[in-house]
Amino acid sequence: MPESKPAVLVARAVFPQTLQRLQQHFEVQANPDDTVYDGATLQALLQGQAGMLATGSERIAAALLAACPQLRVVANLAVGFNNIDVPACTAAGVLCTNTPDVLTETTADFGFALMMATARRMAESERFLRQGGWTKWAYDMFTGSDIHGSTLGILGMGRIGQAIARRGALGFGMRVIYHNRSRLPPDQEQPLQATWVSKEALLQQADHLVLVLPYSAQSHHAIGAAELALMQPSATLTNIARGGIVDDAALAQALRERRIAAAGLDVFEGEPKLHPALLELPNVVLTPHIASASVATRRAMAELAADNLIAALGGTRPPTPINPQAWASLA
């Protein structure tokens, strides 16, 4: 008799090719309607499943793990994993994986584009044009701030931060400063022409500040009223990291009072809901968490998540584990 396939839950809709690939290895419970499951539904659907392909929408915490003792692998379709309580997973012997590297350049492209759109007021001027406001040229119409030759500040200097630094220094002649808990070794700093500074100096000196740090209890509201007050009134802030790193209410107030010039936001506290004040402000560019959303990159992310699930449940060490220590209890 053929061995039965392990059961897995694919928590959100994915590319049909990814689903077909997973179906070759697993009994797949898919979600073709792309419903975002609440905690109780997720718990019910996870009963008896050995694996799960998750996204940032699914919260994986201790209570869920306790209620789903058969769960052994959570493959996150994202590089960020703040939706997962990793220590709780490790304690429960659940291996978690993410999708690093494959999205670095695409996400850096988007971060740079969002920063440029913010500095050069692209969304605001497009709205003006569409609304029929463009009747004549004017010397000061939608004047913004330059990217080339300005100071790029990066908070968080992991893979995506470094890819943004490279674009700024080598592509746009920017002076690059960054703040990160650990300073990069000189052989990594030097090709990026990036200089480590204190967080305070970063906030004070950046013409364009880009946030690329992971969300954690430590980075919650890393940018709040006090930090915004240190920034230059002409500065812009771009967040492609996670909602919750910025205090959105404080940011809306700073933007309203023109204490900073503008913001570009791809992520929000409590998304997909937005702080209502952000929707009213002209000097903010808003996008719906799409920094990694090129077709090629989303395919690569889905493939890597599938690779991880297939390897881990097939008894092979997966390519990109988050808590490799859980591998010992699984293997």
Q: Please give the residue ranges that form the binding site for ligand 8YV (CB under 6 A).
A: 55-56, 77-80, 103, 292
* Helix, strand or coil, per DSSP, at residue 175: strand
> What is the distance between the alpha carbons of residues 141 and 107, in angstroms, rounded to a whole number?
30
- 271 annotated active-site: yes
Give 178 or 268: the residue with its C-beta nearer to ligand 8YV.
Answer: 268
Catalytic residue among 27, 105, 271, 303: 271
Catalytic residue among 72, 167, 208, 242: 242
Closest separation between CB of residue 210 and ligand 8YV, Å?
15
* Helix, strand or coil, per DSSP, at residue 131: coil
- 289 annotated active-site: yes
> What is the distance between the alpha carbons of residues 65 and 48, in angstroms, rounded to a whole number?
12
> What is the distance between the alpha carbons of residues 70 and 58, in angstroms, rounded to a whole number?
18
69 φ, ψ (degrees, to nearest 5): -65, -15
> What is the distance between the alpha carbons of residues 259 and 289, in angstroms, rounded to a whole number?
25
> What is the distance between the alpha carbons of residues 223 and 229, in angstroms, rounded to a whole number?
10
Closest separation between CB of residue 111 and ligand 8YV, Å?
12
Closest separation between CB of residue 267 and ligand 8YV, Å?
7
> What is the distance between the alpha carbons of residues 101 and 285, in angstroms, rounded to a whole number?
26
Residue 152, burial from CB neighbour count under 10 angstroms (0-12, 13-18, 19+)? buried
Catalytic residue among 25, 159, 166, 289: 289
Give 80 or 319: the residue with its C-beta nearer to ligand 8YV.
Answer: 80
- 175 annotated active-site: no
Closest separation between CB of residue 5 and ligand 8YV, Å?
25
**Alpha helices of the chain — where are they, by DSSP H?**
16-25, 39-45, 62-67, 86-91, 104-119, 122-130, 159-166, 172, 186-192, 199-205, 225-230, 248-256, 276-280, 295-313, 325-330
Instruction: Tell me the catalytic residues.
Output: 242, 271, 289
